[in-house]
Amino acid sequence: MPIKASTPSSVLLVCLGNICRSPTAEEIFRQQAAIAGLSMKVDSAGTGDWHIGHAPDERAQRHAKAHGYNINKLVARQVSADDFRDFDLILAMDAQNLADLQSIKNGITNTDKKLAKLALFSEEDPTYGGDDVPDPYTGDGDAFEEVIERIESSAQAWIESWKI
Ligand code: 4NP
């Protein structure tokens, strides 16, 4: 597939806990990128520190698996300033995550290396553009299904945006 020169070679997906939305997005993005023939580093992290070292939430694992996404080996970590030097593009699942990431980015003073571009995960999505991927943590099964539906749509939109 011919792709734009501006296509990132690394993408970091970020939510609050890194146990529900962003690990799901990591696997969906990885699979969609592979199908599109894009060679890209894909990872995920959380703005919070409560779940560092934990596997994804069991409900997220179960719903992801039902759609063909195996996330049970992923391990939660917290986003850091280094991520802005290590990734080309950092995508926030919701507006609060975006604000928290922007303040980390604003605090980076030593900027000899180009810092990651920051955007909302839904930004390119013709269906869900500008929306949050809603936090499913206190929700029911439908909330986890909605997360998958929105992530599949918005990940596809990013990949489409990189095609020539
Ligand atoms: P996530 O969901 O940000 O999609 O991983 C959450 C997971 C944990 C918490 C909140 C949201 N928490 O408050 O512990």
Inside any domain, residue 5:
no
* Pocket flag, ligand 1, residue 79 (CB < 6 Å): no
| 22 CA to centre of ligand 1 in angstroms | 10
Into how many domains does the chain fold?
A: 1
- Residue 2 pLDDT more than 90? no
Which pLDDT score, from 0 to 100, does residue 133 have?
A: 98
Inside any domain, residue 1:
no
pLDDT 10s digits, 19-37? 999 999 999 999 999 999 9
Inside any domain, residue 3:
no
Inside any domain, residue 144:
yes
| 16 CA to centre of ligand 1 in angstroms | 5
pLDDT 10s digits, 96-117? 999 999 999 999 997 788 999 9
pLDDT 10s digits, 62-73? 999 999 999 999
Inside any domain, residue 2:
no
Q: For residue 72, what are the domain limits?
A: 10-161
Inside any domain, residue 43:
yes
- Catalytic, 21? Answer yes
CATH number at residue 42: 3.40.50.2300
Inside any domain, residue 4:
no
Whether 87 and 12 have beta carbons less than 8 Å apart is answered as: yes
How far lies 10's CA from each of 7, 19, 49, 83, in Å? 9, 20, 23, 10
Q: Assign 148 a pLDDT band (cuts: 50, 70, 90).
A: very high
Inside any domain, residue 58:
yes
- Residue 59 pLDDT more than 80? yes
Q: Assign 1 a pLDDT band (cuts: 50, 70, 90).
A: confident
- Catalytic, 15? Answer yes
* Pocket flag, ligand 1, residue 17 (CB < 6 Å): yes
State whether residue 154 is helix, strand or coil: helix
Pocket test for ligand 1, best of 13, 14, 16, 133 (most atoms within 8 A of CB): 16
